[in-house]
Amino acid sequence: MTAPSCPITTRLYENGKVVAQDFDYGEVTGLLEQHPKSVLWLDLFDPDSGDLTLVAEEFGLHPLAVEDAVVDHERPKLDRYPHHVFLNVYAVDIATRDSQTRFGKTEISAFVTSRALITVRKSQSDTSRFVDRWDADAELGAAGGVGFLLYGLLDVVVDGHYAAAQRLDAAMDGVEDALLEEGGAPRDVRMQGIDQRKMLAALRRAVAPMPELVGQAMRADLGLVDADLRPYYRDVEDHAQHTVDEVEHLRDRIESLLQADLAEQGNALNDTTRKLAAWAAIIAVPTALTGWFGQNLPYPGYEHVSGLIASTVLILATSVLLYVYLKRRGWL
């Protein structure tokens, strides 16, 4: 049997226990025949179309599903084909370092046949979480078959979605106070808020379809979920819906914060404009007085020192009175 050229990971489960692992692709058929009640996990990392064609011929995978597994950035979905189910999901991760929040996403395609879960990863990711999840529920896997492997995959992915939402929520706490400061936040803080809104949009695209996807996996006509597994799938569906609700809450929160910051900037600008207008009014008074007497009109004390003193006092007095009036009105 010709083996795919891409890196692969293999595990064979029987009655919920691992009976073989890390074996070559050429041993797959023989091991499945030796263990008729076993199920296979085959993971392919960044395969090309030729690699997937080899696997498709061995397991009877539909060409359209193979095409979706090769193309990047497919939407999260679950499609049914005559001999298998195809689904596409995204494992995500959000980490904060040096006050900078980073978003990571791994696209995972999966073919679910009667005896195999074949995963296709298009970027580097940690598969040990799937393995740990399967090993932790060996008793459940004893009767669950390939549906148990799919449950473990979906459970880890959905838990990762919720953890990412929680980390993004915590990251928002760090910029919330700065965004609500009087006069508006500094530009770097405002840009952090905008970056978080972008990450939230990317997270929402990965999270939003998951409740429906898990619900489709539980359909009786697919034959993947038996009575023992159904409560576990419902738990994953509930967690997925809870994550969607959390993401929607975060979206409303960050939008409100950015709008509040924008309103505060507007208030600060209005306050500055009001102060400038007030000072302009104060300056306009002596300008008007000197302009009026600049028409060569005589005034009390004209051409005398007393006239200079009187005009100066008049200018200062009117300016002070206008300043006091505007100060009391809150314009200064």
* Same domain? 256 vs 306: no
- Number of independent structural domains in the chain: 2
The tokens for 142 are: 């004893």
* Same domain? 235 vs 308: no
* Same domain? 233 vs 293: no
Residue 137: predicted pLDDT: 83
The pTM assigned to this predicted structure is: 0.77
Q: Is residue 260 part of a domain?
A: yes
Q: Is the pLDDT of residue 263 over 80?
A: no
Q: Is residue 2 part of a domain?
A: no
110 SS3 class: strand
* Same domain? 109 vs 251: yes
Residue 157: what residue type?
Answer: V
Note the pLDDT tens digit of each residue in 14-63: 988 899 999 999 999 999 999 998 999 999 999 988 899 999 999 999 99
Q: Is residue 47 part of a domain?
A: yes
91 SS3 class: strand
* Same domain? 179 vs 323: no
Give me the DSSP letters along 185-242: --HHHHHHHHHHHHHHHHHHHHHTTHHHHHHHHT-GGGT---TTTHHHHHHHHHHHHH
* Same domain? 237 vs 281: no
- The percent of residues above 90 in pLDDT, for the chain, comes to 42
Phi-psi region of 260 (alpha: psi -120 to 50; beta: other; left: phi over 0): alpha
Domain residues for 277?
268-328
Mean pLDDT over the full length of the chain: 85
Note the pLDDT tens digit of each residue in 191-246: 788 888 888 899 999 999 999 999 999 998 888 898 889 999 999 999 999 999 99
* β-pair partners for 40: 12, 116
Q: Is residue 3 part of a domain?
A: no
The tokens for 133 are: 């999840």
Q: Is residue 139 part of a domain?
A: yes
Residue 28: what residue type?
Answer: V
* Same domain? 224 vs 312: no
* Same domain? 182 vs 286: no
Residues in CB range of 239: below 8 A, 6 or more apart = 155, 158, 159, 162
**Direct distance between the N- and C-terminal alpha carbons of the chain, in angstroms, rounded to an integer:** 85
Instruction: Tell me which of 214 and 98 has the higher pLDDT.
Output: 214
* Same domain? 123 vs 261: yes
* Same domain? 294 vs 323: yes
CA dihedral 111, 112, 118, 123 (to 10 degrees): 50
* Same domain? 237 vs 130: yes
CATH code of residue 57: 3.30.460.20
Q: Is residue 1 part of a domain?
A: no
Residue 256: predicted pLDDT: 81
Note the pLDDT tens digit of each residue in 273-304: 777 777 777 777 777 766 656 655 566 666 67
